[in-house]
């Protein structure tokens, strides 16, 4: 309770807070609209734009500095205490004092590493209440896990290396390494634990991870053995220092496991000549998400273990029973997916499709994940910068804004500049997959949209430019049987995750209390390694039994809600509900094509783009969202920083936001 209590209390208090915030979302948009003066935010001001950390905002830099200062202070405090305790060991030679100080230093590094481990698993709990509390989506928090992992590995190496130095000084290296003590740390378990940590760290380094991604993915599953041998090594008391963060991760992992067991129906697949595949997945009407959400997708026919993240390319207002993805063929997995959909589009296989199980592709889904609130709606002026397939996320934003303006829902956005950098012009048809089929002509009065497309590897337009060709190579409908995406995970759903967290945590307290009352105390259990594994076992039992009970009830509620739905697919927007005459509407393709300017043989000049917007907008907030490779993020972040540093009182404030995600 002493070590994990504060984290659990914050998580419990986050539940009612998030519920209240979700109720007041429309009020927040109204308050933002009434607020005239722009504000500077540390979280959207990029400080470091290049280097090993990538783009780092002012808030993130402050967090890094504070954590390093905290670690240094912890080491210093432990060291001072050790110097105070040194005389209590009695009369010793200088060499014996050195041995004791080395041992104490090793313990200090171990305690500091446990502090790091207490935070290490919170950023990778994808649906964590804590991440939702501070509105940091998983794709952003992943790099915090990377930073903490590197720092933790450094401290663990100092911990093990210092103990090795002490063993060598006493001439008992091999004996101490193989020793399995009951009254204090089991050294051999610690050596095995460090080996697992080292394997996970080495395979996660960028050169290894990018070249051998599957090796990184599979090796990272060793975290289960890492937990077990860490509990065996340090016992229950020390393990409690990191137990709260690990328990929250276990809750999230079990929930994702339950969600991913469902086979999700793929209602249609479309293949474009540029190598991009559009998948439309079935979802229940009560599954909530925002336009800047993403999901993890597994296709069992391609790999039973690989999960790949993709941005959602559809707005939640496009239809309540479907969700779309745009997947570009850039690797082995995505190449196989495109090949599968193109093979199924052949005439001979289309006939056999309903009777040939091998011709189907079976999907499993985790998510959707993302920001708790649609922050892009908070800006009246938006700059969207996409690189290649990064346009997918912005198609969802455009569609969402189209729908909101059309349906008169809360939306502050009125000026949008979309900058899209692509290699070849055959990717241009992807732009026409956004949103509403028919768009009212009055939209051009309410929304000022400027689309600047840069084709970098072509010096002149192709002959067929200007034709409204969707570029579809093949279309398959449907290509698999299954169910809707499970609503066990979803942005905006707070009540059931809150019940899951509270019941599981209370279950952990009950399990530990029963174990202590009826087993540990009556039988005088005192072995460190045994108590450690008992604590870890209680955590697992609490997740499986108490958490599993809540998930079972959650499934029943989900099934009941699905049965109550009318069952009408909302794939197409129901234009009959609007009184605007048909002749006052234009097609989506015609509207977007009229706003598009294509530049061939050049890259975006962000200094020029941002400068013209600064002159045109005046003293306002301008939201900048980037979705693309690291080089593109750095260029945009550098220009945002430059504009902020040299701005005058009448210039706008550019707020940098990144939507890119890669493992």
Q: Are residues 477 and 502 in the same domain?
A: no
**69, part of any domain:** no
HSE-CB for 44 with a 13 A CA cutoff: 21
Classify the C-alpha dihedral 204-209-212-215 as positive or negative.
positive
**437, part of any domain:** yes
Would you state the pLDDT for residue 374?
83
**609, part of any domain:** no
Q: Are residues 104 and 194 in the same domain?
A: yes
Would you state the structure tokens that stand for residue 349, as one six-digit string?
């296989």
CA distances from 25 to 12, 31, 373, 403 (A): 21, 10, 8, 17
The DSSP element (H or E) to which 156 belongs, if any, is helix 138-170
Task: Say how far residue 253 (Cα) sits from the centre of its chain.
Answer: 14
Helix, strand, coil percentages in the chain from 3-state DSSP, rounded to 5: 55, 15, 30
Would you state the pLDDT for residue 663?
65
Q: Are residues 443 and 399 in the same domain?
A: yes
Q: Are residues 299 and 396 in the same domain?
A: yes
Beta bridge partners of 454: 421, 599
Would you state the pLDDT for residue 475?
57
**409, part of any domain:** yes
Domain membership of residue 244 as a residue range: 5-36+92-259+494-561
- Please, what's the b/e burial string for 355-372 (b: 16 or more CB within 10 A of its CB; e: otherwise)? eeeebbbbbbbbbbbbbb
Would you state the pLDDT for residue 26?
55
Structural domains in the chain (count):
2
Q: Are residues 592 and 514 in the same domain?
A: no
d(CA 527, CA 530): 5
**619, part of any domain:** no
3-state secondary structure of 374: coil
**77, part of any domain:** no
List average pLDDT for each run of 10 residues in the chain, which is 663 residues long.
89 90 64 66 90 88 93 90 82 85 92 92 89 85 92 95 94 90 87 96 91 88 96 94 95 92 86 84 84 88 85 84 86 82 54 42 86 84 91 89 84 90 85 63 77 87 55 55 77 84 96 95 92 96 96 87 59 39 53 75 91 87 92 93 88 90 69
Would you state the pLDDT for residue 494?
85
Q: Are residues 398 and 424 in the same domain?
A: yes
Q: Are residues 12 and 133 in the same domain?
A: yes
**233, part of any domain:** yes
Q: Are residues 319 and 353 in the same domain?
A: yes
Contact, 367 vs 296, CB < 8 A? Answer: yes
Would you state the structure tokens that stand for residue 516, as one six-digit string?
């202590």
Q: Are residues 469 and 550 in the same domain?
A: no
**640, part of any domain:** no
Q: Taking the model in full, what pTM does it have? A: 0.88
Q: Are residues 319 and 337 in the same domain?
A: yes
Helices 94-120 and 223-260 meet at what angle, rounded to 10?
10
Would you state the pLDDT for residue 353?
38
* 262-298 pLDDT tens trace: 888 888 888 888 888 888 888 887 788 888 888 899 9
Contact, 14 vs 132, CB < 8 A? Answer: yes
Q: Are residues 151 and 270 in the same domain?
A: no
Would you state the pLDDT for residue 535?
96
Q: Are residues 107 and 245 in the same domain?
A: yes
d(CA 184, CA 191): 15
């Amino acid at each position: 309770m002493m070590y994990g209590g504060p984290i659990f209390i914050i998580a419990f208090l986050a539940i009612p807070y998030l519920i209240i915030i979700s109720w007041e979302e429309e009020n927040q948009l109204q308050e933002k609209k009434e607020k005239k003066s722009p504000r500077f935010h540390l979280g959207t001001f990029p400080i470091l734009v290049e280097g090993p950390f990538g783009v780092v905002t002012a808030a993130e830099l402050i967090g890094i500095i504070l954590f390093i200062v905290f670690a240094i202070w912890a080491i210093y405090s432990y060291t001072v205490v050790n110097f105070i305790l040194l005389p209590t060991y009695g009369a010793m030679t200088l060499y014996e004092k050195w041995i004791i100080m080395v041992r104490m230093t090793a313990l200090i590094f171990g305690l500091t590493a446990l502090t790091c481990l207490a935070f290490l698993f919170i950023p990778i709990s994808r649906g964590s209440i804590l991440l939702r509390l501070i509105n940091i989506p998983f794709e952003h928090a992943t790099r915090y896990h990377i930073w903490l992992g590197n720092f933790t590995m450094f401290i663990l190496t100092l911990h093990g290396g210092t103990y090795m130095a002490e063993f060598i000084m006493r001439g008992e290296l091999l004996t101490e390494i193989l020793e399995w003590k009951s009254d204090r740390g089991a050294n051999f378990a610690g050596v095995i634990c460090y080996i697992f940590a080292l394997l996970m760290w080495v395979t996660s380094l960028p050169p290894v991870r990018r070249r051998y991604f599957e090796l990184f993915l599979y090796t990272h599953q060793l975290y289960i053995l890492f937990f077990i041998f860490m509990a065996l090594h340090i016992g229950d008391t020390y393990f409690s220092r990191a137990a709260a963060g690990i328990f929250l991760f276990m809750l999230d992992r079990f929930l994702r496991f339950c969600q991913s067991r469902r086979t999700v129906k793929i209602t249609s697949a479309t293949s474009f000549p540029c190598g991009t595949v559009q998948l439309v997945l079935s979802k229940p009407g009560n599954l909530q998400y925002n336009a800047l959400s993403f999901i993890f997708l597994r296709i069992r026919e391609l790999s039973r273990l690989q999960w790949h993240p993709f941005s959602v390319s559809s707005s939640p207002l496009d239809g309540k029973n479907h969700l779309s993805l745009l997947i570009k063929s850039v690797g082995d997995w995505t190449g196989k997916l495109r090949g599968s959909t193109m093979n199924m589009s052949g005439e001979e296989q289309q006939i056999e499709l309903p009777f040939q199980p091998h011709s189907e592709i079976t999907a499993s889904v985790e998510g959707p994940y993302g920001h708790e609130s649609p922050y892009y709606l908070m800006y009246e002026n938006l700059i969207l910068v996409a690189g290649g397939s990064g346009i997918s996320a912005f198609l969802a934003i455009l569609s969402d804004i189209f729908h909101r303006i059309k349906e008169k829902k809360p939306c502050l956005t009125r000026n949008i500049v979309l900058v899209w950098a692509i290699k070849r012009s055959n990717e241009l048809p992807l732009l026409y997959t956004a949103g509403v089929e028919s768009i009212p002509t009055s939209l051009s009065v309410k929304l000022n949209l400027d689309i600047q497309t840069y084709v970098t590897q072509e010096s002149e337009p192709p002959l067929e430019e200007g034709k409204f060709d969707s570029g579809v190579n093949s279309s398959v409908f449907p290509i698999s049987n299954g169910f809707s995406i499970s609503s066990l995970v979803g942005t905006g759903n707070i009540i059931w995750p809150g019940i899951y967290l509270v019941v599981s945590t209370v279950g952990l307290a009950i399990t530990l209390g029963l174990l202590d009352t009826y087993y540990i105390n009556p039988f005088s259990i005192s072995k460190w390694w045994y108590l450690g594994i008992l604590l870890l076992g209680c955590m697992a039992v609490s997740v499986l039994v108490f958490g599993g009970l809540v998930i079972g009830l959650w499934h029943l509620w989900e099934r009941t809600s699905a049965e109550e739905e009318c069952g009408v697919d909302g794939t197409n927007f129901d234009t009959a509900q609007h009184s605007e005459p048909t002749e006052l509407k234009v097609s989506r393709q015609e509207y977007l094509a009229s706003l598009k300017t294509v530049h061939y043989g050049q890259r975006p000049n962000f200094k020029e783009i941002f400068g013209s917007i600064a002159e045109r907008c005046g003293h306002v907030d301008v939201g900048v969202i980037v979705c693309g490779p690291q080089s593109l993020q750095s260029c945009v972040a550098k220009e945002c920083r430059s504009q902020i540093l040299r701005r005058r009182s009448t210039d706008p404030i550019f707020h940098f936001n990144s939507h890119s995600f890669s493992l």
